[in-house]
Amino acid sequence: MKNNLVVYFEIPVRDLGRACDFYSKVFETTLTRDVVDGYQMAMFDSSEDSFGASGALVVGDVYVPSLQGCFLYFGVDNIDDVLARVLSHGGKVLYPKKSNGELGSVAEFQDTEGNRIALHEEKN
């Protein structure tokens, strides 16, 4: 297989407006709202020629935010900066930045919807 196995993800949310505000400010990105198969969604920016998977925030009866379940890692340039934005926009730090040696650093936070999300920063 040439590509990474994971190509798309969905993050369950209760309040799409609140979640869009949080994620757009924390990751300094734009989300595009849409309705897909009857579900309200906000898609993360993506490009076919960029590395990694893309995804969306989704609200609906089958989408339940949780600290358990699948665990997503967002690649970032600076974990400290992102965690500062998490805190200033209503999130909580669950696992502070920790070095994983040659693999870089990781951290975890809880978003405004109750999901556990991880961060990864490559070693410089």
Q: Evaluate whether residue 89 is within a structural domain.
A: yes
Position 2 scores a pLDDT of: 64
Q: What is the pTM of this model?
A: 0.90
Q: Which of 111, 91, 20 is nearest to 59 (CA)?
A: 20
* Structural domain of 53: 8-121
Q: State the total domains in the chain.
A: 1
Q: Evaluate whether residue 92 is within a structural domain.
A: yes
Q: Evaluate whether residue 71 is within a structural domain.
A: yes
Query: What does the pLDDT look like over 10-58, one tens digit per residue?
Result: 999 999 999 999 999 999 999 999 999 999 999 998 877 777 789 999 9
CATH number of residue 107's parent domain? 3.10.180.10
Q: Evaluate whether residue 2 is within a structural domain.
A: no
Q: Evaluate whether residue 3 is within a structural domain.
A: no
